[in-house]
Amino acid sequence: MADAMIQIDAVSHRYTGKQGRIDALNAVSLSFRPGELALVTGPSGSGKTTLLLAVGGMRRPTEGTVRVGGDDLYALTAAERARFRAAHIGFVFQTLELIPYLSAFENVLLAATPRGAGQTETRQRAEQRLVDLGLADRLHHKPRQLSQGERQRVAIARAMLNGPKVILADEPSGNLDPDNAHAAFAALRAFADAGGTVLVATHSTLHHDQADRVVTLRGGVVADTVHESIHV
Ligand SMILES: Nc1ncnc2c1ncn2[C@@H]1O[C@H](COP(=O)(O)OP(=O)(O)OP(=O)(O)O)[C@@H](O)[C@H]1O
Ligand SMILES: [Mg+2]
């Protein structure tokens, strides 16, 4: 598909180690378009995180290709891939990885280049991302002074700082109460509505109605794809 934002072709991933071999992904082919928010569900161990890491340029598949915005990620050199990732892909992990000694604002700015972090335009953008996520009066709080849901939104603001094409979120609403989970999800939905592509790996069925599509993995194979009716 020419207009795919993410194009995954026949991707397999095998982990090999002392415990033997695990086929985490088996010939997965999927494509996602701009403006699409897709949930990736499936039981624990079904390959969701492995798939997100492959799409994020962080885990080279044993076989197959991953294209993001037309670029074949694993045909790039490691340095090119790192640059591509910084410019075009935002990540939100369940552990959030906020720096405890920095404020919400400074944590968002971490996603900027060293030069960008000093620029007024970048700083205004960092602030705006936090304001958009309802954190206008939490800019200078440290992570420990924030609720889990607020930390979550800081991590989402950071993922959005550079105006990426794609956001990959692994269990972003884990440990959140429904209101906070909803706020986090609304931000991802808005990002997709503005033309980005979002993949959310989750066990939760809470947000199925806000997704354009639900992809279910089982044993590293795409078991089912449900296209939701148009979200509101
Ligand atoms: N670094 C690794 N080395 C070896 N095996 C791994 C590694 N990471 C994952 N696996 C195995 O690969 C399979 C897929 O793991 P993955 O983390 O992608 O699953 P998941 O769907 O994200 O699960 P969960 O819902 O628990 O997060 C599992 O059987 C897991 O044990
Ligand atoms: Mg996982």
Atom 2 of ligand 1, residue of closest alpha carbon: 15
Confirm or reject: Cβ of 44 under 6 Å from ligand 1.
yes
Q: In b/e form, how buried is each residue of 123-137, taking b as 16+ CB within 10 angstroms?
A: bebbbebbebbebee
Higher pLDDT, 94 or 89: 89
Amino acid 175: pLDDT: 67
Atom 19 of ligand 1, residue of closest alpha carbon: 45
CATH of the domain at 175: 3.40.50.300
Cα gap 55→48, rounded to integer Å: 11
In-domain check, residue 208: yes
The number of domains in the chain is 1
pLDDT single digits (tens) 169-223: 998 666 677 777 787 888 899 999 999 999 999 987 777 888 999 999 999 999 9
Domain region containing 26: 6-227
**pTM here?**
0.90
Confirm or reject: Cβ of 215 under 6 Å from ligand 1.
no
Atom 24 of ligand 1, residue of closest alpha carbon: 44
In-domain check, residue 232: no
Least confident of 21-35, 37-51, 169-183: 169-183
In-domain check, residue 109: yes
Confirm or reject: Cβ of 15 under 6 Å from ligand 1.
yes
Helix or strand holding residue 26 (H, E): strand 20-32
Cα gap 96→225, rounded to integer Å: 28
pLDDT single digits (tens) 214-231: 999 999 999 987 876 555
In-domain check, residue 39: yes
Atom 30 of ligand 1, residue of closest alpha carbon: 45
Amino acid 232: pLDDT: 46
Per-chain residues with Cβ under 5 A from ion ligand 2 = 48-49
